Structures are given as structure tokens and as C-alpha cells.
Structure 1
Amino acid sequence: MRIVFFGTPAFAVPTLQTLLDSSHAVVGVVTQPDRPKGRGQRVVDSPVKALALARAIPLTQPARLRDPSVAATLRAWQPDLGVVAAYGKLIPSEILALPPRGLINVHASLLPKYRGAAPVHRAVIEGETETGVTIMRVEALLDAGPMLARRTRPIGPDETSDVVERDLARLGAALLLQVVGEMAAGTHQEERQDSMACSYAPRLTREEGLIDWALPASRIHNRVRGLYPWPHACTYLDGTRVIVLRTHVEEAAAGAPPGTIVAVSRDALHVATGDDGRLAIDRVQLEGGRPLEIREFLAGHRVAPGARFTGT
């Protein structure tokens, strides 16, 4: 089939690569405009754009999909099917109507749970032990279209969202290719989503990173995992912002107010949490610095039991 691909970040690359290496023809790529990135705010190509350029695939980067030139470009490409993987914007109805076989999407959750922009991060934050990918039709409502296939994947107790997302990207690419083959053969099946069972995964915000030490240790641990690699979980020690990169839950009572450092060992800061729990911090990063194991952090910072992490 002739396929037009919509995608932007690294999550979308395995799907595009899989399609490019298949018997199907990727006739064009739609990706978001280049944006400044990093401390230097240097404008860089998106991962999808970089791959499209490397493979000499026709490319467009519209600021608005409703611009008439976008529909004209897609008509010129004459796609049979549209494939979406983390494009990053809602696709308007006039674009949905262009490919004769419609558009299908690789979504990184087991729909109808976690519709929205941050399904992997939200699943990890909520302490889910299982997630997966869903291939579904793109409709006007956000992530609400009929499902064509789903695959599950366990979430380990210490896995971070970036690790889970990379694996789901590979899993989703293989599943997408299977569905495209079924559509070409006319053997695909569709299942409506149960809207009563749906939940949403809104885009992450920087403000969500601040740790509430009154939460149970397991919930803080899940937030640290789910907010990695952005926006990061963070806290303050003597007015200095500390990014918390890795933790583990301890089976011990703290006997101190939440946020109190109850013990300092060679490899961890042991912190009181809500429900009289304890969370060990294993790896941190200071503003503008590099990630540090706690033994490295302690080599340059004096921290004693009784010190307390705060919200400012």
C-alpha cells in the first residue's frame, strides 16, 4: 500500500523504519516544524525528519494541518492509508478523509485506558504493572477510534518511563506492520472501545515534578520512575534544587516527619515518607550538573541525619 506517515519524536522512528523496510511504499512524511532544543536552544531536526531526509522521503512540516496546502500535498502523494505515531497534534477531519483507507495510529497504552499525550509516563506514575500498545483507527475524538490490535508488556517495579517507551515503540512497529498487512489482505478486524472504561493521560507539566514527601514511599518511587527523563522528580535541600533520578522503597518505619533524612549511608539517603515509610535515594542531579551516585554527591556535600527535604 501507499502510506503517508505522521510522526515526530523518537517513539515514531521504529514504526517509520519498519514501514520503509517493508514491501509497502511510504510516499510522504508529515512531521512537526523544527523547534529549539536544549540549553543552547539550538534548532534541531526531529528524529522522524532526520530519518525521512536520510531515506530521501518527501517531507512536509506544516505549522497548521488545516492549511489548504497540506491537503493539496497529501492529494499529490496519493496515499491509500495514513499511519500516525506520536505526531503530537490532533489531525482534522479534512485530512482524515483523504486516504481511502483512513488513518491508523500506534498508541502506547492498552486502550481505552490512558488516552492522550503521556500514556507511558502516566501508567508508570500510577504504578501499573502492565501496559502495551494499541493499533486503532484515528477519529475526531482523541484516541477513541476502533481498535485493530493490542499487545501487552509488563512494567518492572523499577523501570523508568523511557525504558518502557522504547520497548513499546519497537513492539508497536511490529504490530503496526502486521495490521497494515491484514488491511491490505482484507482480513483485519475492528473492536469498538468501551468508553465507560476509558481514562486519560494528559501532557506532563514541569510543576508535577515537585515531590510531596507526605505521599507513601511507593507512590513517590513511581513518580520518580514516571517523570524520568522529563520533567524529573525534584525536591529542595537547604534551598538547593535536587533532581531525584533513582530511588527504591525500603521495608522499614521512618519514625520521623515526611521529608526528613533519617539515615545517610554510603550509597543512599534514607528519607521519611507518608504512612511512616522510607524511601532510599540512590542517584541525584543538581541544577546544571551531571547525574551523581549518592556516594559522589556526598563527596562534595555534607548531609547529616535530621536534615529535611522541602518544597522550596
Structure 2
Amino acid sequence: MTKLRLAFMGTPDFSVPVLQAIMDAGHDVVCVYSQPPRPAGRGKKLRPSPVHELAEQHGIEVRCPVNFRDPADQQAFADLNLDAAVVVAYGLILPKMILNAPKLGCVNVHASLLPRWRGAAPIQRAILAGDEETGVTIMAMDEGLDTGDMLASEVVRISPDMTAQCLHDELSTLGAAMICPALDSLADGSAVAVPQPEEGVTYAEKLDKAEARLCWNVTAEELARKVRAFTPWPGAWFEADGERLKVIKAEAIPCCCTPGFVMDEELTVGCGRGALKIKCLQRPGKKPMDVEDFQRGRAISRGTHLPY
């Protein structure tokens, strides 16, 4: 293995295992780039990103430019004299000057099987679409949105009960396992860069909280996928008695019923096709509860028509 001089560019939890794997392999991470600290918690104190925190724990310099339009930021990056930069869910568009500065370029770890689900929310979009598989692609970055040549890819099956959180964790771990072999192949010249196919391109648009509402006139299968895709964030929800209730776990079952009609005391709700059997839900400010415990409190009665 050739020890490379690297910069790491990432922000959320998903990126952390990849950074850890690079450090564990002995590469020289000379600088970490991350999104600026954001207000968080009740006190709205500025909190550094998970990647920022890990870098500081290891004494690595952290830089948080708002963007890379400032020539001074571009020059500071070029002055690092990098072999490569590893980019994982960073959150900024990198201009051509940044992409071309490292000797071996910038390498991106992306949570889908490209060209399917280019963009911001590939994990959630794969579940929402009912995909049976997804994976991780490592690509050599270019100026397009996740359009670079592919260096490696691995497949992950999406099980029928897999939430976005579970899939996130599995893909993050996989990306961490894939990054060092990909860097080794770049360093020794054995990497084979494969252009992405022109067919099969889809875009994973950023999640909108408004999407998380459960509209009972669609199929139960769609709603069950929505519950899984929006767990843990932003959380699928519906209204009952003016209260917004978050659904943590639910199952689609075959049935014929009026959309929005509560069919039983176990909170089985009619949909456009089939019914959604709610298994776990959460009131605002409260802990998640199994439906049995929920119904012992302020229950939603059989025969209730839920709005949508």
C-alpha cells in the first residue's frame, strides 16, 4: 500500500466510517473539510459536524468554507499538495479548480449504484421506489452531479423491512471497506475507470418534510415504504384529532376498505389499495410506543376517518 497525502471532505454520520478507515490504513490525512457548525439542541449552540468532531479528536486541521468561490479558499486547497481528496456526503459543489488540484483527483463515495439515484437522497429514494437492491459506487469526480467514471461498486439487497437508518448504516460500513482498495488502485495505476451508462439515470431529489405525510388514498405498499424511507428523518406522519402522529413501524396488508377508515382497535387504516397496519407510533414530545400501549391512552377508535 502506498501512503497517500489526502484531504477528506465530508459532513454527516455517513462519512465518519470512511474517514476512520482511511486513517486506520495509515494514509496521511492532512486536512478535513466539513460544513460549518450549525445550531443544535434546545440552546441552539453551534455544534460541529460528526466528521469535524472526529478530525479534531485526531488533531487534524478542519476547514469549513461556506463555498469554494473565494480564490483564497481555492489556493489554500491547492497549497495542500495532495495526492487525492476523498469526498463523502460533503454538501458543497466542488469547482473544476478543486477537482483538478490533487495529483490523482477527487474520489467520491456515493450511496447508490450509479447512474441510478444521483443526487442528495439516494438511500431514501431507493426505498421509496421499492428498489430491491442498491449499493455503493466509488467514482472519480467530474464537474457534473455524480456523473464521474466509476472505479468500484458493490451491491446491497434492500430487505422488505429495512429502514433508511438501517440501509444508511450498512452502506456507510460498505463504503469504508471499499475506499482503501480504490485508493490503492489509483496509486499503483491499476484502477479501471468505467464511464457510467447513459441509460438508467435517475435523480434523488432532496427530501421535503411535506412528503412525509401519509395520504391514505395511495396504496398501502407505498405508505409502508414511506414509513421505512423516512425513518428516522423526517418521520412519516398523519393527523388524528388535530394531533400530528409519527409512524415508526407499519406493515401493508391486503384488504378492501375506504381510504383513511380505521378498521379496528389495532390501528389498521384503509388505503387506496390494501390497508396499513400501524405497529409503532409516537406522539409529539413523547417516546415511541407499540400500538397496544398507544391505544391504552388516548385511543383512536375503530370507525374513525383520518384526514388526508
- Normalised TM-score (structure 2): 0.96
Which segments of 5 or more consecutive residues in structure 2 lack a partner in the other structure? none
Q: Does 1:37 align with 2:40?
A: yes
Q: 1:123 Cα deviation (Å)?
A: 0.3
In 1: Cα distance, 2:153 partner to 2:9 partner = 20
Tell me the percent identity: 37
Q: Which of residues 145, 152, 157 is equivalent to 1:154?
A: 157
Q: 1:296 Cα deviation (Å)?
A: 1.8
Q: Give runs of ≥4 in structure 1 deviating > 3 Å.
A: none
Are residues 72 and 84 of structure 1, via their aligned partners in 2, closer, same or farther at CA, if it must alter by over 3 Å? same
State which drifts further: 127-136 or 291-300. 291-300
Q: 1:39 Cα deviation (Å)?
A: 4.4
Q: 1:42 Cα deviation (Å)?
A: 2.8
Q: Does 1:295 align with 2:292?
A: yes
In 1: Cα distance, 2:18 partner to 2:215 partner = 37
Are residues 90 and 240 of structure 1, via their aligned partners in 2, closer, same or farther at CA, if it must alter by over 3 Å? same
Q: 1:223 Cα deviation (Å)?
A: 0.6
State the match for 1:263 in structure 2.
264
In 1: Cα distance, 2:299 partner to 2:284 partner = 17
Q: 1:273 Cα deviation (Å)?
A: 0.8
Q: Which of residues 58, 62, 66 is equivalent to 1:63?
A: 66
Question: Equivalent residue of 2:231, what SS?
Answer: coil
State the match for 1:3 in structure 2.
6
In 2: Cα distance, 1:53 partner to 1:180 partner = 23
Q: Does 1:122 align with 2:132?
A: no
Q: Does 1:82 align with 2:79?
A: no
**For residues 106-128 of structure 1, what are the alpha-carbon distances to aligned partners after superposition, in whole Å with 9 as ceiling and x for unaligned?**
00000000000000010011111
Retained in 1: the 8 A contact 2:224–2:251? Answer: yes
Q: Which of residues 38, 48, 53 is equivalent to 1:50?
A: 53
State which drifts further: 23-32 or 147-156. 23-32
**For residues 219-260 of structure 1, what are the alpha-carbon distances to aligned partners after superposition, in whole Å with 9 as ceiling and x for unaligned?**
110011001111111111121111111101223x23x31011
Q: Which amino acid aligns with 1:263?
A: D
Q: 1:191 Cα deviation (Å)?
A: 0.6
Which segments of 5 or more consecutive residues in structure 1 lack a partner in the other structure? none
Q: 1:27 Cα deviation (Å)?
A: 1.2
Within-5 A mapping of 1:276-295: 277-295=274-292
Are residues 278 and 155 of structure 1, via their aligned partners in 2, closer, same or farther at CA, if it must alter by over 3 Å? same
In 2: Cα distance, 1:171 partner to 1:194 partner = 23
In 1: Cα distance, 2:78 partner to 2:126 partner = 38
Are residues 243 and 173 of structure 1, via their aligned partners in 2, closer, same or farther at CA, if it must alter by over 3 Å? same
Q: Which amino acid aligns with 2:272?
A: G
State the match for 1:212 in structure 2.
215
In 2: Cα distance, 1:44 partner to 1:171 partner = 27
**For residues 137-178 of structure 1, what are the alpha-carbon distances to aligned partners after superposition, in whole Å with 9 as ceiling and x for unaligned?**
111110000000000000110110011011101101111111
**For residues 17-59 of structure 1, what are the alpha-carbon distances to aligned partners after superposition, in whole Å with 9 as ceiling and x for unaligned?**
0001113211110111001124443321100000000000111
Q: Which of residues 195, 205, 211 is equivalent to 1:192?
A: 195
State the match for 1:174 in structure 2.
177
- Normalised TM-score (structure 1): 0.95
Aligned length: 305
Question: Equivalent residue of 1:264, what SS?
Answer: coil
Q: Which of residues 132, 137, 145 is equivalent to 1:134?
A: 137
Question: Equivalent residue of 1:243, what SS?
Answer: strand
Please give the root-mean-square deviation of Cα atoms over the aligned residues, in Å. 1.2
